Amino acid sequence: MPHPIYIEHGTGAHFTDIDGNTFLDCNAGWNAAFLGRAHPAITSAVHDAMTTLGAPGGSMHPSPKRDEFARLLCARVPGAEKMVFAPSGSEANTYALRLARSYTGKQTVIRMAGGYHGQHDALLGEQSSKTGTAPAAQNNIVTVPFNDLTAARAALEAHHDTVAALIVEPMMTIPGAIHQRGHYLKDLRTLTTEFDVLLILDEVITGCRFAQGGASEYYGFDPADLVVMGKMLGGGLPTAAVVGRGAILEQPISASNTHAQNPVTLAAAVAALELSTADEYRRVASMGERLRSGLRACTESLPIPVQITGDGPCAGIHFTSDDVHDYASADAANDDLWRLMCVGITNRGLGLTSRTFGPTIAWTDTDVDHALDVFSSTIVDISHAASATEVSTR
């Protein structure tokens, strides 16, 4: 912001724009490349698949990579017995809703305010444009605040006869790395079980970022009925999947898509899964904690209030004095200061494309130090300028 950065080339955790400026990639290509850019193993896998197969296969002409990918993913994700392939997170969430409604025979879906689940008309949230969508598409959607178990229980009690599923991100990413408070996710799992409602865990962003098995492994709660994964799942190429209980995944929904089982993409996905080891996840989460701790230490004594959110490898920055625990509290933060910060860090060599950012496998401790230096110096400059001119932080 305010102008796009055109990338000429990139390797690992860095990329260079067409003007020759080099940046540390703080978002992994919009949260899609946890291994970094141009990883040799991914490049090799794509080259081999393209030269030997070279075209979409689909369900009628699958490659062995499809089954290898399915076995690897289901072995990692707790509770995953079967899967449905998709080319993107949006389509995977579409399939998850169809599966839940088919399995339960019910229509209502409970979602979180400000949560992002792709481009399905029924799941577009407050932060998305609904221009061109049918108003009736959201007739069966009930919205509650994130981190509010009382509101979730009230919604289930009010609509218990019609609710098919509750869908939630383990961490709200679009508003800026809003993490769970207490044992919110575990309590949601208990609550949906109590009301005999399916729990859909949307891990399109967190699924290949927190742990090998995703959020249920990282936070230690019982598996969701359905888990949606994408983004980093493809090692930088577009792929996604819905995994979960076999009886639900066996529902005869329409899930046909030419590129859902693209052998080139799945070859990259297999390579990415093999490289994403438990030790690497622990290392990246440790760097994420160091980044958040450093940001909190920097902002504690500033003349304007700043909140740092996030968990695992993810962080978020919010210019507000209020605790940021849901979409409403994040939306109330000062957006002008956020945008000013984005300009400042861009001019100092950080590449930021979304409000949730942090280290990837490609990062080193030196990269964490660099990110802390740039974020800290920029926020300090903004804070002093804003304080001097009495800018409101709402």
For the chain, what are the domain ranges?
7-34+277-388, 40-275
Beta strand 316-318 with 307-309 is: antiparallel
Q: What is the pLDDT of residues 101-123, one digit of tens each?
A: 999 999 999 999 999 999 888 88
Cross-sheet strand order for the sheet of 14-17: 7-11, 14-17, 22-25, 350-351
pLDDT at site 1: 61
In terms of DSSP H, where are the helices of 240-364?
246-249, 263-275, 278-299, 327-331, 335-347
In percent, the amount of the chain with pLDDT more than 90 equals: 81
User: How many Å apart are CA 172 and CA 114, to the nearest integer?
Assistant: 8
Closest-CA residue to 267 (of 20, 103, 64, 4): 64
CATH of domain 7-34+277-388: 3.90.1150.10
Mean pLDDT of the chain: 93
Q: What pLDDT score does 394 carry?
A: 44
What's the whole-model pTM score? 0.94
CA 111, 113, 118, 123 torsion-angle sign: positive
Strand 108-112 relative to strand 163-168, pairing: parallel
Task: Name the token pair of 191.
Answer: 């609550």
Instruction: Given CATH 3.40.640.10, say whether it is the number of domain 40-275.
Output: yes
Evaluate if residue 247 carries a pLDDT over 60. yes
- Amino acid identity, residue 196? D
Least confident of 15-24, 122-131, 311-320: 122-131
Q: What share of residues in the chain are helix, strand, coil (percent, to 5)? A: 40, 15, 45
**Prior bond of 2 cis (ω within 30°):** yes
How far is residue 31's CA from residue 240's CA, in Å, rounded to a whole number?
13
pLDDT score at 138: 86
Q: How far is CA 377 from CA 59, 75, 198, 299, 305, in A?
A: 53, 44, 46, 10, 15
In the predicted structure, residue 392 carries a pLDDT above the cut 60: no
| Model pLDDT, residue 393 | 44
- Give dist(CA 95, CA 251) in Å, integer: 10
Say yes or no to pLDDT of 365 above 50: yes
Mean pLDDT in residue range 316-341: 96
> What CA–CA distance (Å, rounded) separates 100 from 108?
10
